[in-house]
Structure 1
Amino acid sequence: MSGILAGLSDARLYSACVVVVLYLTTCAYFLWPRRQPALIATGRDPTLIAFASQTGFAAELANRTAQSLQAAGAPVMLASLQQIDNQLLKQTKHALFVVSTTGEGDAPDPAAAFVRDVLDSTVPLKDLSYGVLALGDREYDNYCAFGHRIDQWLRHQGATALFDVIEVDNGDEGALRHWQHQLSVISNSPDLPDWEAPRYDRWRLTARHQANPGSAGDACFHIELQPQTADAKWQAGDIAEIDPRNSTWDDKLTPLPHREYSIASLPTDGAIHLLVRQMRRPDGEPGLGSGWLTAGARVGEDIAVRVRANPNFHAPQSDVPLILIGNGTGIAGLRALLKTRIAEGRHRNWLIFGERNVAHDRFYGDEIEQWRSQGQLERVDLVFSRDQTERRYVQHRVLECGDEMKRWISEGAAIYVCGSLQGMAPAVDAALSEVLGADTLENLAISGRYRRDVY
């Protein structure tokens, strides 16, 4: 090398040095950790996908998340937490955090600067809506602790949670499918393909009838699915995953993305009950999953079903008062919770439920009235938005019942919300924050007394 350099002219030597310097500078630019996002897709208001990974798994899931949203036509910004500062967060309207927990509840090593510079600071984030996918291992005491720490910090800064933290125990496939379901909801793309197809069991469609004939809204159907094995188990709050058209059983069909529905029954009922709204595509055709369940499948036919445990929405284990709030087909998840509470002899239950018209949309109305008259449902507030000139929704009833709600909370009540992610859930969250105070609502969420199953 020295012999070659000795034969070069001064000009050529200078040029060679410049090339080397530029090469090293370029390498440093791409390899040295930076505060700028690693990937920015074109488009306005991109969704920030922020990850913190110890072993690479969270980074992989963040990349899959970005790819799913981009496939739905949504612009994204992908970045490690080490590249995120307060200024970026203040400029962001939508964010998804995919973070792992290491050691005894610690942040991954690359997130150390984010913890020091961001989580220990105060940043006004009232314009930010977010979701958290928390990776962890239940064998450790502080399970998914870092994900929950981010969630609590964001709530404290005034940000709005799109849904409760989704916990993933050792890469649990069901939890990851639930995350994918939420991606399809927030991107309004129900046909986003599953990352990996679930394994289904055979259940039989044994009953189906329209629950709201004459309604101004889309038709809703009560559906019953009977297990073909004796060991089928589920709890109130769990989710039924449906394979539209049984695509995984038919070699002629391309595997279709699963659909999720809140279970409205208990195993003692002998079948999974669903309340399914027949969604319509822009061209008027029935939705893929709802169309199959409400019209395409024949009564008596086998349906591909998988039950996914949803422990975050299981009924409280202790005998505390329970406030149940929901709208539309969200009554399904609330009905199962009420069935569990009543079977356990726990009657301090308060239902606040909203739909369109009392004449057509009283889902499970006779059953609810029976529970109320027998003292198993202490209070019922039904809100029908179209039955008066001024539209009224469940959040309005929450505001009107503020004093009573504060009394129930002071007596240890928990609040469970089930129904629409768009519209109802954020409006109810804002109403609860106004009635109870933002700090109280945040503490309820942290302690597990405020839980949501929204879609």
Structure 2
Amino acid sequence: MTQAVLIVIAILAILLSLHLFVIVWLYWQQRNSKSSLQSHPSYLVVYASQSGHAEIWARHTAEQLRLVDDQIVVRNIQDLSLHDLSEQQRILWVVSTYGEGDAPDSAQSFINKAFTQGLDLSHLSFAILALGDRRYANFCQFGQRLEQWLVQQQAQTLFDTVLVDQMNSRDLEQWLNGLEQLTSMQFSDLAHSQQMLQLKFAHRQCLNKGSIGEPIYKVQLIGDEDLVWSSGDILEIQCENNLDDVEAFLQSQQQPINAKLIAQLSTLNLRKLPSKAEQSFQQWLTQFERLPKREYSIASLAENGFIELVVRQQRTATGLGLGSGWLTQGLQQDQILQAHIRHNPSFHLPHDARPLILIGNGTGIAGLLAHLRQREHWGYKQNWLIFGERQQQFDHLYQTEIHYWQQHGFLDQVDYAFSRDQAEKIYVQDCLKAQSTRLQTWVAQGAAIYVCGSLKGMAGGVDHALKEILGLDLLEQLKQEQRYQRDVY
């Protein structure tokens, strides 16, 4: 082999080596770039949810953004670290406030570790969708606290915080409009993608005749199709006006009473009339707000073939409550109503045999019943029910079914707190204190605690009792392990 040939071979070997080096270098550059994008998504969507609304809207927001950008990450606020804040460039927050200005349970650990510190978040831009209810004090307080804290840390707003009252569609449109201006893409309303069910009213029964409290009704609804839900899920009902109210309104406006107008007015808010300028009746109706939805825990299982609710009839200065009055008195036999099953994963049960402690009062029995029925269906027997109402003689709700579970080993322990049966009122938190040793034992065995019922009084009292008995650190640990779950209202 001549020297010239050897030189050519050497040159080719060098060129081949350089070619392979470039290929490997480009591969690692692409991989590192992709890894960087995954570590720092273009948008991080964070939700803080108590009853599921915030999580649903966070995921809907992310789904819309992924149409043009696949680097979108959704995260529960309880899994958000301070390191995430230091690394992320843009965060969209969807956070709820429940009760009198309280942050969701899942947000407490973040509040404890973040709100007490001063951080440099000047690199961060954010927007907040704050969900709340104006019927309570301190409307959307957690969302506004979050905004204040972020601004104090030098973070920049992408657009003004959106405050939403009872999931009002017009309020939610502001969030979609803000996202559209931010991304130059069109967003669809979640309501348009939600399937509204047509349910038939089948049966109602007063469960506490003679009680000094408001009447409590069992209400059963039937669908035309096989419906699917899990224990802990919620039925959102589209409220409607009573026929008498619609006809009275049409008469007051000197309009004909016919089926078309009655159907058109059935879900419009006739208690809050917009100003009427020089316009036709039909043009005026386009300015009306829709009646809000009302939410109820589903007490039955999908296997039962019907939806069962437990509804306390509310009475206000203007008459019966909008939702409760319609369900307990206004609906006629076989009348059709519109509803949506909202999944509530934060109140779902794990499919395992861990001990279960169920605590609640009043119509909160619905959520507890669903879990007990599910546990019976699965064959898990280590269950403990603590329930409170007013009078044992009249308010012993679902006594027969509870007694059956006791007799057949599906309820290890049942404690009742009937507050009006003795001179000194007792409540479910008093039962917890009386059974503190048993509570500690069950928790040590891995028990999960589920609370359903009144936010005012009961939920706070139970939370305080648990802190006294278990200690703050252990209770926070239970929250992190999703062993302390609440559906309170």
TM-score, normalised to structure 1's length? 0.63
Residue 130 of structure 1 is aligned with which of 74, 91, 102? Answer: 102
1:101-120 matched pairs, under 5 angstroms: 106-107=84-85, 108-109=88-89
Equivalent pair of 2:219/2:311 in contact (CA under 8 Å): yes
Q: Distance in 1 between matches of 2:387 and 2:355?
A: 17
Q: Counting helix residues as a fraction of each chain, which structure ranks higher?
A: 2
Kindly tell me the number of residue pairs found equivalent between the two proteins: 316
Residue 326 of structure 2 is aligned with which of 260, 271, 292? Answer: 292
CA distance 1:195–1:100, shift in 2 (3 Å): farther
One-letter identity of the residue aligned with 1:311? P
CA-based RMSD: 3.7
Q: Distance in 1 between matches of 2:406 and 2:464?
A: 28
What's the CA shift for 1:422? Answer: 1.1
Gaps of 5+ in 1: 1-52, 66-97, 112-127, 133-146, 160-175
Aligned to 1:250: 263
SS at match of 1:388: coil
Deviation per residue, 1:66-108 (Å, 9 max, x gap): xxxxxxxxxxxxxxxxxxxxxxxxxxxxxxxx97999998235
One-letter identity of the residue aligned with 2:220? E
Whether 1:265 aligns to 2:300 is: yes
Whether 1:152 aligns to 2:130 is: no
Q: Distance in 1 between matches of 2:422 and 2:208?
A: 19
Aligned to 2:68: none
Equivalent pair of 1:208/1:299 in contact (CA under 8 Å): no
CA distance 1:435–1:193, shift in 2 (3 Å): closer
Whether 1:186 aligns to 2:164 is: no
Whether 1:429 aligns to 2:463 is: yes
Q: Distance in 1 between matches of 2:113 and 2:399?
A: 38
Q: Distance in 2 between matches of 1:237 and 1:397?
A: 24
Q: Give me the identity figure in percent.
A: 40
Q: Distance in 2 between matches of 1:374 and 1:310?
A: 29
Deviation per residue, 1:161-181 (Å, 9 max, x gap): xxxxxxxxxxxxxxx9xx85x
Q: Distance in 2 between matches of 1:279 and 1:416?
A: 25
Q: Distance in 2 between matches of 1:236 and 1:351?
A: 16
Deviation per residue, 1:364-406 (Å, 9 max, x gap): 1110011011111111001100000001000111111100000
Whether 1:312 aligns to 2:378 is: no
Equivalent pair of 1:327/1:353 in contact (CA under 8 Å): yes
Residue 408 of structure 1 is aligned with which of 442, 455, 478? Answer: 442
One-letter identity of the residue aligned with 1:151? Q
1:15-94 matched pairs, under 5 angstroms: none
CA distance 1:157–1:365, shift in 2 (3 Å): farther
SS at match of 2:310: strand
Q: Distance in 2 between matches of 1:233 and 1:249?
A: 32
Equivalent pair of 1:54/1:102 in contact (CA under 8 Å): no
Larger radius of gyration: 2
1:435-446 matched pairs, under 5 angstroms: 435-446=469-480
CA distance 1:383–1:185, shift in 2 (3 Å): farther
Aligned to 1:367: 401
Residue 195 of structure 1 is aligned with which of 159, 164, 169? Answer: 169
Aligned to 2:452: 418
What's the CA shift for 1:267? Answer: 1.1
SS at match of 1:397: helix
CA distance 1:434–1:277, shift in 2 (3 Å): same
Q: Distance in 2 between matches of 1:436 and 1:158?
A: 25
Deviation per residue, 1:106-162 (Å, 9 max, x gap): 235478xxxxxxxxxxxxxxxx96314xxxxxxxxxxxxxx95x5214468999xxx
Residue 425 of structure 2 is aligned with which of 368, 387, 391? Answer: 391
Gaps of 5+ in 2: 1-40, 54-75, 92-99, 117-128, 140-163, 171-190, 243-260, 269-289
Q: Distance in 1 between matches of 2:434 and 2:114?
A: 26
Equivalent pair of 1:54/1:110 in contact (CA under 8 Å): yes
Equivalent pair of 1:320/1:412 in contact (CA under 8 Å): yes
CA distance 1:105–1:418, shift in 2 (3 Å): farther
SS at match of 2:363: helix
